Structure 1
């Protein structure tokens, strides 16, 4: 997808033209009102559908595997000045959704950044962590330099990409930035991609601080050439006010932009936006999730072994699927509500090596459900597999 064209002009709807916004929140996660820095551990979320009341696990959210998101239903949010709220990732690296009954105030920092690259000899063995909903940066091991993860994951010594490579301006589904590639010249792992968050309220979101979904950088490398890309921030409110900042970029670069989307009747011009965007009038019932008939592509098996419906891709000590085959194997995929004239591809990233896109071949089925197969020879060790379906 091409990056959204934007303009420095921000509009305000005429008084009386706005309609009330309905946000589906029951408030069972209570109020988020930290008084000091906190890290929200997304692995503590209840496994359930997103609209399940969460009073029994209040404050920890609900993980909906079908929507691939950790959802918090707050009564209100107030992050004071000099307080930072950050996240420990869910095992699936899912993004974050806040559905809020009342107002949201962010005077401090809401941090969804990817981790910076590292030269640490132990840390280089593991892909760099991304923000929630983002993708990891390339690692370094005995077999060589790893590429970044995600649809826009970068090659060695290259920056991850997002806005010009995948996703859409609506940020539906919610998805973060891709990782940078390992830089062998500087012995730096690739920066992790920025995370992704949706905040929705029928009231006001006041930002006098910072919402940061930047990709991870390379602080010891002046060229910053292997940063992760920016993630995604989507805000839905009657009004977005304040003099703070939203940022979803690759630090220190003129590219590697993520995505911002603001659905509000008014947007203060004092808020700093990177990348630039404009306000879009919100719907009475905002679209939170992809439609039930939205196109899907799913990896169903690898070399005959069933793929999990909710993979974690740990890339260390365990695997979602284990195979023992040095030759070509079949990766089977299913498309749903997708034309068989489209293109289905698989991206394979070796933990300590290169990545490649492999075209899948249509086998059988129709628009409602079809089977595709890609023939892939995996290198020994860990690899990550990701599917993509596009219509030319």
Structure 2
């Protein structure tokens, strides 16, 4: 029995940003690039190999029209952090998209060796779920589709009626889209909406600190003759930071992948699209008339990609939700398209100080590699049927926080468990929890919540505006909490010691930028 464990890289950890007021006047933006990787100026389509950190240090970047740059994922699947000490010009394409799932049954090339295989994610994102296996007897343990990976991974299709009825309210046999910026709702039939229709919960916030990619769509239930199709992968995550001008006349693409097409008598259920990924742009000047996309994935249908998009659950929609795009600059004159619409912000820190990390250190007493691949990192005997202990190690995560462990089997429903509080110290914490693992391969994913300190802009005028949100009291500290699930929240702490909770949007409305 193989159990697959994926280490959750730095960006998946949930953060709270603590902004202190007032702060010294702003200086010219510095991306932090060392320039060690020189100039990036490809003349043909290029795949750049990401280092272990995911950080690329260029002097200048110039991607000409007609040229596409992709990135080879590193072992721990970090996002792409592309830094430049001068200008970045993108007339071609930067591609961190999630891949489509393979065609299933007689669809497409008709090759059956890859039926049900899900899409692989862009760097920093997560793969789709496998399509359920075919079985003439339609046994639940065989035909259930796999869930997409990631915090918003869509559940797979399950056994049940093949149509939407008043009793079910939704189609059970299809996968559910991956979620990110918003929820992804299970597909339901026209005139058959049921308030109990399940959905995948969105996560993260518009701040994109920390940076995290999109989640995979669920695979479809297996049929009598052919498997279900796999889910599309989540789009990847990329940060581009330029000390000079960032000019985009081409495209930066972090779309989610499509669910695989399927066709044939006795075919299984449709796999769903993965969610869009994340794009964060930071520069002294951001300009151009190009395109930014973190759109959700759709499905392959009628021999065409990107069909039946959307994540509201309406009967023609099998897609994942949109991802997130954020643009920060001292001057922003970008006039191109953005899907979804980008969030505008002042220049913030490129990286969180004292960046935390979280890892699964052992399972059932077996050590997990320091740089796990997510494939056969730990193998347990098939006789392992009792609960096993999963141990965690954390760095720069305050003690007292808990860890959510998500167990994703290759086929069937996911489960979650919360650990006891982290013990030890902020510098080196540990905790553990007991779980029962299903037969066959599984992926374990861990997330936590922590608080770190970063700088933010502040001035007397802003202080006066903050007073209006705090019963006219002087605000000394602003805490902005970025939760993995749900939107950002803020807390104003006054000189008198009172605290006022409010949505982050209320701060944005008065000009606060974290």
TM-score (norm 1): 0.79
Matched, 1:162 2:170: no
* Bigger shift: residues 298-307 or 116-125: 116-125
Cα contact 1:124–1:141 (8 A) shared by 2: no
Partner SS for 1:361: coil
Distance 2:57 2:48 in 1: 14
Structure 2 counterpart of 1:7: none
Residue pairs, 1:178-217, within 5 angstroms: 178-184=215-221, 187-217=228-258
Residue 365 (structure 1) shift: 4.3
Higher Cα Rg, which structure: 2
Deviations 1:162-220 (A, max 9, x none): 22433333323322101000023783210011001111111111111110001101374
- Structure 1: stretches of 5+ with no match in the other structure: 2-16, 43-61, 65-69
Residue 117 (structure 1) shift: 1.8
Distance 1:310 1:370 in 2: 19
Partner SS for 1:202: strand
Cα contact 2:101–2:116 (8 A) shared by 1: no
Identify which of 95, 98, 122 aligns with 1:131: 122
Cα contact 2:260–2:271 (8 A) shared by 1: no
Residue pairs, 1:92-131, within 5 angstroms: 92-120=76-104, 121-124=112-115, 126-131=117-122
Matched, 1:72 2:133: no
Partner SS for 2:405: strand
- Distance change (3 Å), C-alpha of 1:269 and 1:364: closer
Distance 2:49 2:352 in 1: 25
Structure 2 counterpart of 1:357: 416
- Structure 2: stretches of 5+ with no match in the other structure: 1-11, 13-24, 105-111, 134-141, 157-174, 183-201, 264-268, 298-308, 312-319, 451-482, 484-514
- Distance change (3 Å), C-alpha of 1:293 and 1:270: closer
Partner SS for 2:243: coil
Distance 1:87 1:366 in 2: 36
Distance 2:132 2:271 in 1: 20
Residue 229 (structure 1) shift: 0.6
Structure 2 counterpart of 1:290: 352
Deviations 1:248-306 (A, max 9, x none): 120432561211121102222512112223322214xxx23332165x54322111112
User: How many residues matched?
Assistant: 344
Cα contact 2:125–2:234 (8 A) shared by 1: yes
Instruction: Note the aligned Cα RMSD (angstroms).
Output: 2.8
Identify which of 278, 295, 308 aligns with 2:343: 278
Identify which of 285, 289, 299 aligns with 2:360: 299
Cα contact 2:31–2:242 (8 A) shared by 1: yes
Deviations 1:228-264 (A, max 9, x none): 1111111110111111111112043256121112110
Residue pairs, 1:311-322, within 5 angstroms: 311-314=372-375, 319-322=376-379
TM-score (norm 2): 0.62
Structure 1 counterpart of 2:455: none
Matched, 1:243 2:301: no
Partner SS for 1:190: coil
Structure 1 counterpart of 2:398: 338
Distance 1:363 1:77 in 2: 42
Distance 1:224 1:271 in 2: 34
Residue 313 (structure 1) shift: 0.2
